[in-house]
Amino acid sequence: VEPAPSRVKDSGKWQKPRFSRKALMKCCLVKWIIASTQPQDKDSSDSDLELSTVRHQPEGLDQLQAQTKFTRKELQSLYRGFKNECPSGLVDEETFKSIYSQFFPQGDATTYAHFLFNAFDMDRNGSIRFEDFVIGLSVLLRGSVTEKLNWAFNLYDINKDGYITKEEMLAIMKSIYDMMGRYTYPCVRDEAPSEHVDKFFQKMDRNRDGVVTIEEFIETCQKVTHTFLSHTPVSVNHN
């Protein structure tokens, strides 16, 4: 995301990006949704084929409707957008990294995009299908707090063994700092990711066994959120 001129100091260092609604609407996942709302070329045989494919898969749509919080019409629209951006119907990791990196030019988003890709690639086959995309999107956009925390736990659980180790949490945290860029303002110290992880891992690992379970993760995150909200003098819309 290109920072506004006011976001760059005279020294040439980047400020920490502040993502506006407009900027977020440009992200690769939302871009697929926006694309689906654009007028389709009625004379295009490819477009006609895609629309026909959607109309002739009612059982698939019914199943996805049961698995997500999208309506049938929304799923049809999402499918058109997805196919418009990904004609093959699949997104491989390199394509995902390329798309995601466009929005963080000041840093290196490669590693974080790798972790994020694995979180969406539910069946671990090296590609994101429409089903993977829409189920994950449903959780992120319309899921409950617990559902979103479960999704986040899956992101941090890199080897998918059901636990988060300090090494896994540190790997994710470092990838986030790398993505945000080393030229942020104020400057981020090299020790910051490790210190951040030490602080939160200590809070989460309640029984001190060296790993964080899904129960510990959710309980700690909900407690932190509740504490924050209880000290916030404004009403918060959880949706």
CATH number, residue 175: 1.10.238.10
Model confidence pLDDT, tens digit, residues 193-213: 888 899 989 999 999 999 999
How far apart, in whole angstroms, are the C-alpha atoms of residue 206 and residue 213?
Answer: 10
Residue 195 belongs to domain spanning: 152-231
In a domain, 123, yes or no: no
How far apart, in whole angstroms, are the C-alpha atoms of residue 53 and residue 31?
Answer: 21
Model confidence pLDDT, tens digit, residues 8-58: 444 444 444 444 444 443 344 444 444 443 444 444 344 344 434 433 233
In a domain, 87, yes or no: no
Model confidence pLDDT, tens digit, residues 68-84: 999 999 999 988 888 88
In a domain, 5, yes or no: no
- pLDDT for the residue numbered 183: 56
Asked whether the bond before 87 is cis by omega within 30 degrees of 0, the reply is no
In a domain, 224, yes or no: yes
- pLDDT for the residue numbered 186: 57
In a domain, 192, yes or no: yes
Can you spell out the DSSP letters for 124-146? -SSEEEHHHHHHHHHHHHH--HH
Share of the chain above pLDDT 90, in %: 40
Whether the predicted model's global pTM rises above the 0.85 cut:
no
| Backbone φ and ψ of 100, nearest 5° | -65, -35
In a domain, 146, yes or no: no
In a domain, 166, yes or no: yes
Nearest CA to 74 out of 29, 46, 37, 99 is that of 37
Domain count, the chain: 1
